[in-house]
Amino acid sequence: MRQARPAEQACWTVAWATWLLLQAGCGTPTTPPVAPPDVQGKDVKGDAVDAAVDATAADAPDEDLLPDTQTLDVADVEAPDDGATDAAADLAECTTDTDCNKLTLGFCDAAACIGGICKIVAQPDVCCGDAACDDKDVCTVDHCDMDSHLCGHDVIANCCAGKKLLGDYDFEAGMSGDFIAAGPPGNGTVVWQASTTRSHSGKSSLYFGNPCHNYDTSSAVVNACKPGKAAPVSTTLTSKTFSLPKGIGAQLHFWLWLDTEPPYADSVPQGACIPGCGPTDSCVMVGGSAQCIPEKDVLTLSLQVGGQTLPLFYSTQIGKSTKGVWQHIAVDIGAWAGQDVAAKWSFATGTGIKNDYEGIYLDDVRIETACQGNASAACSQDVPCPNDGVQCTADTCTYFQNFVDEGWCYHDKVTGCCTADAECSDGNDCTLDACTSGTCAFTPDASKPTCCKSEVLLFDDFDTPGLDAWTASGGNSSTVKWQSDAAGGPDKSGALCFGNAACNSYDDPSLGMGAGPKGALCTKVAKLKAGTVYNLLSFELLLDTEWSDVLPASYKNPLAPGNPKVDFFSVDLYFDAALHPAWSSDAIYGTTAGKWLPVTIPLDAWQGKSVQVCLRFDAGDGQVNDKKGVHIDNFVLKVACAKKPCYWDNECAALSCAACSAPACTETGCACVTTPGCE
């Protein structure tokens, strides 16, 4: 069909405007004008009215300002599928898809001619998010590679073939509409709510408690969470109804973090009740006799089926607490296959006393059928779970709470274990987050100097006589001890020594041959920094001992198992009433071979601790103690923004090397270094 030129369309619109004005009494009525072929049948009356108004204000309307009679009414156009970014300006009439090549498309968009209208639809075989990759298979992990925009489907090891996931709730979007919470008005702010305080996976879980993180009705933020006269608390949380398939087992399982009032047996002597007590009672000694006392603060999981409420799990079965960790709770509901069921959690305190515990967290609630033809998924004391070959999974049996010695192999992920860098994030832009051997490591990012500020925490060059800033302890000799050496440093300045008054020996014959001088010298308390920094201890060391006459290959300290070490120097951190080894002369085979040696000791394992650095020397015996002993200079405890990959060969001992090579610390890190003279 021939299309009208813009000039024809403009003339047609003006003709309509003229006719409307005549109809309004501005002239003699006439027959409405006939439209050009491309606009026949289209509603342009509204545009023509606008043009008529414009015509009364000017003798000759400007063609460029006249309405475009080919514009479609966007209200008549279907919304694009799958998040397409359609706009009215992009819509046009079409006969084939190629007529729509002027549409603005995203990477995952395609242009299509549907019903004569150009639309933006999802491009097949590509993805821009994990949601587009769902293959409806519960035995695969679906993900979108954002570099290639292709879907991946990783097979889950030992996953159950034929399993159906009836309900799966992680509460990342809040409390699902599939759950109904109920409780009396007296609960106040103690309610079921989504919480980011704790989670088993993701960022959120479902929590029963108040903003003060307890279930005490008298505790509120406005009174600084101080407890007062509290009311009893009770609640129920009921799921929607699920239809269990016939002829196949099913399970209800979830992750629980629980902190409630402890059982009576934790504080009252246990008794021997005959007959035994019920599942929510404890047998304790009261007034000299064994009695069954009902427990308070009990969480119960029941199954609602056929008008009945059937309890399947009581928190008394796990001691009313998960001891500060998440615990996997599973119940077997296969006995009700083919029936409609709902899960119901109930909790009641009975009184308002001792309700200042944190409360209840639920996460990753699942209702699913069992595996068809996969007997290896069932487990017991006699049938352990097989190794699934996957790092970071626990191959242990999760026993059903409503059966004895029967369970399922879920192969739960080990808490804190990682398999990829992407699983590690501390939310700090100043750290490099990495997964190393299943453990997340967060190291300062030295490429961002604004993230770190270097600082000296302690310093002593020992040029000033006396050790007023130090504390000596554990000494056994009045002549050999930690003291100042006025000219003992590498540049003949002051230094610290462990020795006699002349600092040229650590021999004290008065102790006899079976004992040698020993003693410790500790700094004042300093708090190691925490965060995106390194804590380093450095000093210069001259160590001349009986090991100075022994080749490194022959170093063996102690000389025999069970014997004390001899001529042993160590650096320890003292905090929490205990010594924590940081470095020792074993790293240098007991001697610096007559030279001053720079020593650097990373202390990152103790970030945030308030510590004393303690220098210790123990001769161990009274033999060969005529050496110069220990000299230390330029002692510095500092905060640094960078550190070397390693400092001592013994840090590389785990490295496996071929024959004629040995692990060693190099400038670039641990490496296998060729052994001189080895063939």
Which residues contact residue 424 at a Cβ distance below 8 angstroms, ignoring those fewer than 6 apart?
A: 418, 433, 434, 435, 440, 441, 442
What confidence score (pLDDT) does residue 149 get? 83
> Which one has a higher pLDDT value, 392 or 195?
195
Contact between 562 and 610 under an 8 Å Cβ cutoff? The reply is: no
Contact between 357 and 260 under an 8 Å Cβ cutoff? The reply is: yes
Strand pairing of 308-314 and 298-305? Answer: antiparallel
What confidence score (pLDDT) does residue 344 get? 98
> Which one has a higher pLDDT value, 202 or 597?
597
Contact between 316 and 301 under an 8 Å Cβ cutoff? The reply is: no
Q: Which amino acid is at 392?
A: C
Which residues contact residue 187 at a Cβ distance below 8 angstroms, ignoring those fewer than 6 apart?
A: 217, 231, 233, 234, 235
Tokens of 112: 């299509």
* N-terminal to C-terminal alpha carbon distance within the chain: 92
What confidence score (pLDDT) does residue 416 get? 77
Bridge partner list, 195: 205
pLDDT per residue as tens digits for the range 198-236: 999 888 999 999 999 999 999 999 889 998 899 999 999
What confidence score (pLDDT) does residue 104 get? 84
pLDDT per residue as tens digits for the range 132-180: 888 767 677 888 887 778 888 877 655 656 678 999 999 999 998 999 9
Residue located via tokens 């404890």: 282
Vertex 370 angle, CA 365 and 371, to 5°: 130
Instruction: Indicate the burial class of 30 (C-beta count within 10 angstroms; 0-12, 13-18, 19 or more).
Output: exposed
pLDDT per residue as tens digits for the range 263-318: 998 888 999 999 899 999 999 999 889 999 999 999 999 999 999 999 999 999 99
Instruction: Indicate the burial class of 506 (C-beta count within 10 angstroms; 0-12, 13-18, 19 or more).
Output: buried
Q: What is the DSSP letter of 652?
A: G
**CATH of range 165-257+300-305+323-408; options 2.60.120, 1.10.287, 1.10.3470, 2.60.40:** 2.60.120
Q: Does domain 455-643 have CATH number 2.60.120.200?
A: yes
Q: Name the percent of the chain lying above pLDDT 90.
A: 54
Q: Which amino acid is at 51?
A: A
What confidence score (pLDDT) does residue 562 get? 87
Does the pLDDT at position 355 exceed 50? Answer: yes
Contact between 629 and 585 under an 8 Å Cβ cutoff? The reply is: no
What confidence score (pLDDT) does residue 79 get? 40
Report the distance separating Cα 457 and Cα 449, nearest Å.
19
Does the pLDDT at position 511 exceed 80? Answer: yes
pLDDT per residue as tens digits for the range 13-47: 445 445 444 454 444 444 555 555 444 444 444 44
Which residues contact residue 619 at a Cβ distance below 8 angstroms, ignoring those fewer than 6 apart?
A: 506, 516, 517, 518, 566, 567, 625
What confidence score (pLDDT) does residue 538 get? 96
SS3 (DSSP) at 336: helix
> Which one has a higher pLDDT value, 78 or 170?
170
How far does Cα 68 stand from its chain's mean position? Answer: 57
Helix, strand, coil percent content, the chain, rounded in steps of 5: 15, 35, 50
Contact between 225 and 356 under an 8 Å Cβ cutoff? The reply is: no
Which residues contact residue 534 at a Cβ distance below 8 angstroms, ignoring those fewer than 6 apart?
A: 444, 602, 604, 639, 640, 641, 642, 643
Contact between 641 and 454 under an 8 Å Cβ cutoff? The reply is: yes
What angle do the packed helices 45-57 and 6-21 form, to 10 degrees?
A: 80
What confidence score (pLDDT) does residue 432 get? 84
pLDDT per residue as tens digits for the range 103-134: 888 888 888 999 899 988 888 888 888 878 88
How far does Cα 323 stand from its chain's mean position? Answer: 19
Contact between 47 and 70 under an 8 Å Cβ cutoff? The reply is: no
Backbone φ and ψ for 411, nearest 5 degrees, come out as 50, 55
With bands split at pLDDT 50, 70 and 90, how would you rate the model's confidence at 10?
very low
Contact between 120 and 109 under an 8 Å Cβ cutoff? The reply is: yes
Bridge partner list, 543: 630
Distances (CA, A) of 14 to 9, 25, 46, 279: 9, 17, 13, 89
Report the distance separating Cα 526 and Cα 610, nearest Å.
5
Does the pLDDT at position 644 exceed 70? Answer: yes
With bands split at pLDDT 50, 70 and 90, how would you rate the model's confidence at 52?
very low
The C-alpha torsion from 346 through 350 and 352 to 353, rounded to 10°, is -110
What confidence score (pLDDT) does residue 179 get? 97
pLDDT per residue as tens digits for the range 358-382: 999 999 999 999 876 566 688 998 9
Contact between 110 and 120 under an 8 Å Cβ cutoff? The reply is: yes
What average pLDDT does this structure show over 619-636? 96
Instruction: Indicate the burial class of 198 (C-beta count within 10 angstroms; 0-12, 13-18, 19 or more).
Output: middle
Report the distance separating Cα 422 and Cα 145, nearest Å.
13
Report the distance separating Cα 392 and Cα 386, nearest Å.
14
Distances (CA, A) of 435 to 82, 350, 392, 425: 35, 47, 12, 10
Backbone φ and ψ for 498, nearest 5 degrees, come out as -110, 110
Tokens of 459: 């310093």
SS3 (DSSP) at 238: strand
pTM of the entire structure? 0.51
What confidence score (pLDDT) does residue 434 get? 87
Instruction: Please state which of the ranges 47-56, 250-259, 595-604 shows the lowest mean pLDDT.
Output: 47-56
Q: Which amino acid is at 156?
A: I
Backbone φ and ψ for 462, nearest 5 degrees, come out as 60, 20
Tokens of 620: 């161990």
How far does Cα 583 stand from its chain's mean position? Answer: 32
Which residues contact residue 48 at a Cβ distance below 8 angstroms, ignoring those fewer than 6 apart?
A: 13, 16, 17, 20
What confidence score (pLDDT) does residue 58 get? 40
Please name which of 76, 114, 118 lies closest in space to residue 101, comparing C-alpha atoms: 118
Average of per-residue pLDDT values in the chain: 84
Residue located via tokens 């308030």: 610
The residue extents of the domains of the chain are: 6-65, 74-122, 165-257+300-305+323-408, 455-643, 645-679
Contact between 393 and 414 under an 8 Å Cβ cutoff? The reply is: yes
What confidence score (pLDDT) does residue 234 get? 97
Where b means 16+ CB within 10 Å and e means fewer, 617-633 reads bbbbbbebbebbbbbbb
What confidence score (pLDDT) does residue 161 get? 61
Report the distance separating Cα 487 and Cα 48, nearest Å.
105
With bands split at pLDDT 50, 70 and 90, how would you rate the model's confidence at 537?
very high
pLDDT per residue as tens digits for the range 396-455: 999 999 998 999 998 898 877 888 887 787 777 788 888 887 888 887 776 776 777 788
What confidence score (pLDDT) does residue 651 get? 83
* Residue 322, CB-side half-sphere exposure with 13 Å CA sphere: 18
Q: What is the DSSP letter of 55?
A: H
> Which one has a higher pLDDT value, 164 or 346?
346
Which residues contact residue 246 at a Cβ distance below 8 angstroms, ignoring those fewer than 6 apart?
A: 337, 338
